[in-house]
């Protein structure tokens, strides 16, 4: 889901709210030709001998397209590509031989896959946790994935590859963090690679799994389609909930900028939803308000413009990518009996007869469970942080992980924090709603430092460490 979610601004939402993220120096006797070129480049920092050694090692261990930039306090940012995938890692001047890596959230299919060249810049790392780790003396960085949209498998592979790379550069201990879809990636990494990371931090994450979350989102889509059929509030495009309603990349011959095109498609989906909520606000007892309550209830979300719009935008624009990535449908409502509020028995019978039914594909479900349904069987400390109301990944995901971990008898390695919800203006429509990953920089930094202190000291954090 979200990569850097303090508010739902356009610069944030396209990447994260739609799901729309961190040694021992080896001296060398002389500056290598590579470093000479890097230092001569415009804006490149003057590196110390130890920093030059890191860049030289980076080339030796397979990094290409290397770019060096200055970082605060005499540090530097090492950017480049690993096996063709972009990465960026900031190394502080006083690097302590540890690192924090960040897995970003879901992005609308068709979005650019590059991550920020400055991993410690404002707006990266969900609440500033990468910047906080850098201040604490750790290297802090992230990797691009091979694709936009559903990317847990590629993110797991690429983040693990970056982890192994920074270990070769001298890291003695590596932590992993992630937000939204990135929270699911954290679980994938620490459960499937138990020796790779010292600890994990998952914020606003899909910490249960994709069947549960997309089950809620698809329930909302089929319900919304049924209830708004023939009204001005119906969603445009394809009505089959197993398909994307609209394309997210310009068709052949269309010269529209890709980002502008995606935002236009997002706007087309969001506009009738927000119109429904404006009508509902004008008449709380009217039919529009009733539909809003029913759609929110079937998904387990708040009756709130963002909490209905963001799930529906995600479900409608990501359906094709989801099926292509997992190899079919992961949701099955073929035998589900829906119970919606404010419906009498006759209305419920008609709804259950007329709502779209979907059957899951066994292979697709198996893939979704591998990438990734939490098992609770991890071996390193894990901290989760979640807004108690979230407009895209509900707090129930955090609660479900707690139950999974208890059932696995692994409570000693999990600490969870619920923090207050936040609200902000939506990118379109001129209304306000609950945010996804609505954390302050202080909350992000505190969550990170709580994990760091837990691992480094062995002392379990207090239940009220993050507020």
**Other CB atoms within 10 Å distance of the CB of residue 379:** 12
Is 448 part of a structural domain of the chain?
Answer: yes
Examine the domain organization and report whether 182 and 235 are in the same domain. no
Domain boundary among 347, 367, 387: 367
Is there a domain that residue 320 lies in?
yes
Q: Which two tokens stand for residue 384?
A: 């989760």
Give yes or no: residues 221 and 187 share one domain.
no
Both 255 and 360 in one domain: the answer is yes
Strand partners, 418: 386
221 and 359 together in one domain: yes
pLDDT at 2 over 70: no
Q: Are strands 414-419 and 382-387 parallel, antiparallel or unpaired?
A: parallel
Whether residue 222 is found in the same domain as residue 338: yes
Same domain, 296 and 337: yes
Q: Is 63 helix (H, G, I), strand (E, B) or coil?
A: strand
Q: Give me the helices (H) in 327-420, please.
A: 345-354, 362-370, 396-407
Picking from 367, 397, 414, the residue at the C-terminal end of a domain is 367
The Cα 192–Cα 200 span in angstroms is 13
Read off the pTM: 0.90
How many angstroms separate the most distant Cα atoms in the chain? 83
Give a yes or no: residue 277 inside a domain: yes
CA–CA distance, 292 with 311 (Å, rounded to integer): 13
Instruction: For 116-138, give one letter per residue: b (16+ CB within 10 A) or e.
Output: bebbbbebbbbbbbbbbbbbbeb
When mean pLDDT is compared across 9-13, 84-88, 115-119, 269-273, the lowest value belongs to: 9-13
**pLDDT for the residue numbered 123:** 77
What pLDDT digit, counting tens, does each position of 62-100 carry? 999 999 999 999 999 999 999 999 999 999 999 999 999
Contact residues for 313 (Cβ-Cβ < 8 A; gap 6+) = 18, 266, 269, 270
Other CB atoms closer than 10 Å to residue 332's CB: what's the count?
A: 16
Q: Is the pLDDT of residue 11 over 70?
A: no
DSSP 16: I
* Residue 37 pLDDT exceeds 50: no
Sign of the torsion formed by the C-alpha atoms of 1, 426, 283 and 230: negative
Strand partners, 175: 100
pLDDT of residue 22: 24
Residue 379 pLDDT > 70: yes
Q: Which of the listed residues 327, 343, 367 is the one where a domain comes to its end? A: 367
State the Cα–Cα distance between residues 325 and 149, nearest whole angstrom: 9
Helix pair angle (287-299, 210-228), 10° resolution? 160
Q: Is residue 33 over pLDDT 50?
A: no
pLDDT of 100: 98
pLDDT of residue 400: 98
The tokens for 39 are 């230092």
Tell me, what CATH number does 410's domain have? Answer: 3.40.50.1820
Query: Which pairs with CB-CB distance under 8 Å and at least 24 residues apart come from 452-455?
Result: 452/133, 452/136, 452/175, 452/199, 454/199, 454/381, 454/383, 454/415, 455/175, 455/198, 455/199, 455/380, 455/381
Rounded-to-integer distance, Cα 219 and Cα 239, Å: 13
Identify whether 63 is part of a domain.
Answer: no
For residue 83, the Cα-to-chain-centroid distance in whole angstroms is: 23
The larger pLDDT score, comparing residue 17 to residue 440, is at 440
Tens of pLDDT, residues 233-289: 999 999 999 999 999 999 998 999 999 999 999 999 999 999 999 999 999 999 999
220 against 41, higher pLDDT: 220
Confidence (pLDDT) at 211: 98
Question: What's the pLDDT at 428?
Answer: 76
Residues 399 and 412 occupy one common structural domain: yes
What is the pLDDT, as a whole number, of residue 43?
56
Average pLDDT over residues 391-413: 98
Q: What percent of the chain has pLDDT over 90?
A: 87
Q: Is residue 31 assigned to a domain?
A: no
Residues 120, 214, single domain; the answer is no
For CA atoms 318, 319, 320, 324, give the dihedral sign: positive
Q: Residues with Cβ < 8 Å from 181, sequence gap 6 or more?
A: 1, 19, 103, 104, 105, 106, 150, 151, 152, 155, 205, 206
pLDDT band at residue 204, thresholds of 50, 70 and 90? Answer: very high
| Residue 331: pLDDT over 60 | yes
Which H or E element spans position 264? helix 258-282
Lowest mean pLDDT among 45-49, 75-79, 234-238, 373-377: 45-49
Residue 28 domain-assigned (yes or no): no
What local confidence, expressed as pLDDT, does residue 392 receive?
A: 98
Task: Count how many domains the chain has.
Answer: 2
Do both 296 and 272 map to the same domain? yes
Q: How many angstroms separate the CA atoms of 293 and 272, rounded? A: 16
Judgement on whether residues 233 and 379 belong to the same structural domain of the protein: no
Span of 58-67, 307-316, 425-434, 452-461 with lowest mean pLDDT: 425-434
- The pLDDT, as a whole number, for residue 251 is 93
- Mean pLDDT (the chain) is 91
Instruction: Give SS3 for 409.
Output: coil
Total length of the chain: 467
Residue 403 inside a domain? The answer is yes
Domain that holds residue 321: 210-367
DSSP label of 64: E
- What pLDDT does residue 127 have? 74
pLDDT digits (tens, 9 = 90+) for 136-191: 999 999 999 999 999 999 999 999 999 999 999 999 999 999 999 999 999 999 99
Q: What is the mean pLDDT of residues 356-367?
A: 98
In a domain, 388, yes or no: yes
Query: Residue 30: pLDDT band by 50, 70, 90 thresholds?
Result: very low
227 lies in the same domain as 340: yes
Q: Give the separation between CA 166 and CA 174, rounded to whole angstroms.
A: 8
Q: State whether 254 and 288 are in the same domain.
A: yes
460 and 27 Cβ atoms separated by less than 8 Å? no
Q: How confident is the model at residue 44 (pLDDT cuts 50, 70, 90)?
A: low
Instruction: For residue 128, give the nearest of 30, 5, 38 by alpha carbon.
Output: 5
């Amino acid at each position: 889901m979200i990569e850097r979610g303090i508010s739902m601004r356009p610069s944030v939402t396209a990447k994260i709210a739609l799901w729309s993220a961190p040694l021992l120096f080896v001296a060398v006797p002389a500056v290598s030709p590579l470093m000479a070129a890097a230092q001569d480049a415009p804006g490149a920092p003057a590196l110390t001998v130890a920093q030059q050694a890191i860049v030289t090692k980076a080339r030796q261990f397979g990094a290409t397209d290397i770019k060096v930039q200055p970082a605060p306090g005499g540090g530097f940012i090492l950017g480049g590509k690993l096996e063709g995938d972009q990465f960026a890692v900031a190394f502080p001047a006083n690097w302590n031989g540890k690192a924090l890596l960040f897995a970003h959230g879901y992005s609308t299919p068709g979005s650019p896959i590059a991550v920020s060249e400055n991993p410690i810049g404002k707006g990266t790392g969900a609440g500033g946790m990468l910047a906080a780790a850098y201040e604490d003396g750790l290297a802090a960085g992230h990797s691009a994935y091979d694709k936009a949209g559903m990317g847990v498998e590629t993110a797991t592979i690429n983040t693990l590859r970056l982890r192994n790379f920074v270990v070769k550069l001298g890291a003695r201990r590596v932590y992993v963090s992630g937000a939204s879809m990135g929270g699911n990636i954290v679980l994938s990494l620490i459960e499937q690679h138990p020796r790779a990371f010292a600890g994990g931090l998952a914020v606003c994450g899909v910490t249960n799994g994709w069947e549960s979350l997309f089950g809620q989102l698809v329930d909302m889509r089929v319900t919304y389609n049924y209830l708004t059929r023939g009204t001005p509030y119906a969603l445009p495009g394809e009505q089959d909930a197993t398909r994307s309603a609209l394309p997210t990349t310009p068709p052949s011959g269309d010269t529209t900028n890709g980002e502008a095109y995606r935002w236009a498609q997002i706007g087309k989906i969001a506009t009738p939803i927000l119109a429904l909520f404006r009508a509902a606000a004008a008449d709380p007892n009217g039919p529009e308000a009733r539909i809003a309550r029913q759609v929110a209830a079937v998904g387990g979300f708040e009756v709130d413009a963002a909490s209905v719009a963001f799930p529906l935008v995600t479900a409608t624009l990501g359906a094709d990518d989801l099926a292509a990535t997992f190899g079919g449908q992961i949701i099955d409502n073929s035998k589900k009996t829906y119970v919606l509020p404010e419906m009498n028995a006759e209305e419920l019978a008609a709804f259950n007869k007329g709502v779209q039914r979907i059957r899951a594909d066994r292979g697709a479900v198996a893939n979704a469970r591998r990438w990734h349904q939490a098992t609770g069987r991890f071996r390193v400390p894990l901290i989760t942080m979640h807004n108690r109301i979230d407009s895209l990944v509900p707090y129930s995901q955090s609660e479900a992980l707690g139950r999974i971990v208890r059932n696995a008898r692994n409570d000693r390695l999990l600490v969870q924090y619920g923090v207050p919800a936040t609200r902000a203006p939506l990118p379109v429509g001129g209304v306000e709603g609950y945010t996804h990953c609505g954390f302050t920089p202080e909350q992000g930094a505190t969550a990170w430092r709580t994990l760091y202190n837990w691992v480094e000291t062995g002392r379990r954090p207090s239940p009220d460490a993050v507020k």
